[in-house]
Chains A and B, each alone.
Chain A
């Protein structure tokens, strides 16, 4: 795919800005949730859902749709925001996030939410699930591609490495993994809590084709997704370097916003930054 015209990139950036506002509003209303890691994946989701994925919001179960698995399920607010924006469900549901009787559970739940392929939240399972989908697509000789978004902290789970072996062993070139490398986890920085570096070299050693990009740069992300499609005989991984809390100056790079929702005052301050 040729690089998108600047006008299209501006449109994506505008969508990302609006989704950040949605995410902050829904989290503030919910009073709990994962702010930092929702804001860090906005561009990744916008690039996938608005450009890369073949999907149909009016027909969420369309058999030939590309599959997306949010393995880092705590990024749910960002996923919900874009699914609502695209028409998978009524955007009014966003304001009932995490509320009793609402459709949108604290972590993605496939049985309640159109567009969610599988339930996630307990970390480390999504890559295996994506492998299963990719294996099935290959059995069916289908052109469906499978995308799975993991957290960098999530790769501390042993199952991720079991699945990394499986994807390479079965040559799943219809699979694209993305790591939201925001370098922080609840208890602190990854380098302090449990170092995962050198992450790119680890995945390469496990048999993956690895690309590293700025996870907030649309052109770079889209180019990487295109490159992944060209890889044959092995799975691809995009290490997307991101900033936790991206877009709100006082949240950026701050570990305390991992699992905490903004207060009303913080929301107001954040909206000032995002609306000017």
Chain B
């Protein structure tokens, strides 16, 4: 594989991706007067309240009205503004899907939906607030881009990049803090898989909070003598097909890991590509077509099998399937 290995560390430092968003938004707002921010009565939780305090004239609270918020953002964009739109992932994508489809994607408006509280790590608020289908909803829309940062640093770098990108985009952030993986000199490239571990026997493709867990899985597998490649697929759309096909061809089996349903998300995207271009054993780690429940975020991740141990076991399973085939 020609890609260079990305510098990373996995220590004890953590950052909230939404906390980073709140701070970066203020800095971007200082640099670019065209940036406006919209929220639907969740600005404390999404952290857009910082922007609201810094630039009250460029912040619009639409109240509890997500559909209105998305279409309003389209109008602002049509007039030349750069809207960042925030609410919880479940409302942003589910409640306002038709608005995103027609006013943003079909009309090609430069709107950045930065949703927080994605996945089951929403925790105690339960299934009504846990978006495990949001990537599926956004991925089916033509013209839409999807970014799922793996840590606070990638969140910052992706947001800085996206200010200059004119495509409608969905950025998926979380309620909980993520372990920091990247150095501060990390360079975000839309549409490029990030190589975090080189390996020859299997590949893990992960997004979001599952990337740090996949890193730990790689350490475990190394101790057992299984050389595993790790790709951070932070751009879920347009996805890096080349890196996926190369992983299938060079390592012969793949595990995907996402804090999202196995239907329609990263696992589906990878399955679609390899089944057409290079069919190899695949295991998808994610929510298995079920709603979540209330609980502590960390305990929920364990309860639903979204752990380093589960990823490592899945790698052993696909490696065994590969060997059986050969």
Residues of chain A whose beta carbon lies under 8 Å from any beta carbon of chain B: 63, 67, 69, 109-111, 117-122, 124-126, 128-137, 139-140, 158-159, 162-163, 165-166, 169-170
A130 to B79, CA, bound (A): 10
B76: interface (CB < 8 Å): yes
Q: How many A-B residue pairs have CB under 8 A?
A: 110
Please judge, given known A-B contacts A133-B78, A135-B76, A139-B57, whether A128 and B68 are in contact too, CB under 8 Å. Answer: yes
A237 to B68, CA, bound (A): 18
Surface stretch bound by A, among B59-67, B145-153, B239-247, B289-297: B59-67
The answer to whether A109 and B78 touch across the interface, beta carbons within 8 angstroms, is: no
CB contacts (< 8 Å) of B98 on chain A: these are: 122, 125
B75: interface (CB < 8 Å): yes
A170 to B62, CA, bound (A): 10
The answer to whether B68 and A159 touch across the interface, beta carbons within 8 angstroms, is: yes
CB contacts (< 8 Å) of A125 on chain B: these are: 67, 71, 74, 98-99, 102-103
Partner of A136, one of B63, B67, B80, B99: B80
The distance from the CB of B35 to the nearest CB of chain A, in whole angstroms, is 11
The answer to whether B72 and A135 touch across the interface, beta carbons within 8 angstroms, is: yes
B36: interface (CB < 8 Å): yes
A131 to B291, CA, bound (A): 36
Partner of A165, one of B65, B81, B108: B65
B58: interface (CB < 8 Å): yes
Residue of A nearest to B108 (CB): A111
The answer to whether B107 and A136 touch across the interface, beta carbons within 8 angstroms, is: no
A232 to B76, CA, bound (A): 21
Please judge, given known A-B contacts A110-B107, A163-B72, whether A136 and B102 are in contact too, CB under 8 Å. Answer: no
CB contacts (< 8 Å) of A120 on chain B: these are: 102
The answer to whether A132 and B76 touch across the interface, beta carbons within 8 angstroms, is: yes
A159 to B103, CA, bound (A): 13
The answer to whether B78 and A117 touch across the interface, beta carbons within 8 angstroms, is: yes
Q: B282-322 CB contact bits vs A (8 Å, 1 = yes)?
A: 00000000000000000000000000000000000000000
The answer to whether A122 and B76 touch across the interface, beta carbons within 8 angstroms, is: no
A163 to B108, CA, bound (A): 21
Known contacts A132-B79, A170-B60, then 17 further A-B pairs from the complex at CB < 8 Å, ordered by chain A residue: A110-B107, A110-B108, A119-B102, A121-B102, A122-B102, A125-B103, A130-B75, A132-B71, A137-B79, A139-B58, A139-B81, A159-B99, A162-B65, A162-B67, A163-B71, A163-B72, A165-B68
Give the 9 A-B CB pairs with smallest separation, nearest first. Answer: A132-B75, A128-B71, A136-B79, A162-B68, A162-B65, A129-B75, A132-B76, A132-B72, A133-B75
A119 to B101, CA, bound (A): 10
The answer to whether A132 and B65 touch across the interface, beta carbons within 8 angstroms, is: no
CB contacts (< 8 Å) of A122 on chain B: these are: 98, 101-102
B131: interface (CB < 8 Å): no
The distance from the CB of B40 to the nearest CB of chain A, in whole angstroms, is 10
B280: interface (CB < 8 Å): no
The answer to whether A136 and B71 touch across the interface, beta carbons within 8 angstroms, is: no
The distance from the CB of B314 to the nearest CB of chain A, in whole angstroms, is 41
Residue of A nearest to B73 (CB): A132
Partner of A159, one of B60, B71, B81: B71
The answer to whether A128 and B72 touch across the interface, beta carbons within 8 angstroms, is: yes
The distance from the CB of B42 to the nearest CB of chain A, in whole angstroms, is 16
Residue of B nearest to A73 (CB): B102
The answer to whether A118 and B107 touch across the interface, beta carbons within 8 angstroms, is: yes
The distance from the CB of B110 to the nearest CB of chain A, in whole angstroms, is 12
The answer to whether B58 and A129 touch across the interface, beta carbons within 8 angstroms, is: no
The answer to whether B107 and A119 touch across the interface, beta carbons within 8 angstroms, is: yes
CB contacts (< 8 Å) of B57 on chain A: these are: 139
Residue of B nearest to A126 (CB): B71
The answer to whether A133 and B79 touch across the interface, beta carbons within 8 angstroms, is: yes
Interface centre among A119, A124, A130, A132 (most CB of B within 10 A): A132
The distance from the CB of A235 to the nearest CB of chain B, in whole angstroms, is 13
B77: interface (CB < 8 Å): yes
CB contacts (< 8 Å) of B106 on chain A: these are: 109, 119
Enumerate B157-202 residues with CB–CB distance to A below 8 Å.
none
The distance from the CB of A271 to the nearest CB of chain B, in whole angstroms, is 35
Interface centre among A63, A69, A109, A118 (most CB of B within 10 A): A118
The answer to whether B62 and A166 touch across the interface, beta carbons within 8 angstroms, is: yes
The distance from the CB of B316 to the nearest CB of chain A, in whole angstroms, is 48
The answer to whether B65 and A166 touch across the interface, beta carbons within 8 angstroms, is: yes
CB contacts (< 8 Å) of A159 on chain B: these are: 65, 67-68, 71, 99
Enumerate B258-278 residues with CB–CB distance to A below 8 Å.
none
A162 to B106, CA, bound (A): 22
Enumerate B62-121 residues with CB–CB distance to A below 8 Å.
62-63, 65, 67-81, 83, 98-99, 101-103, 106-109
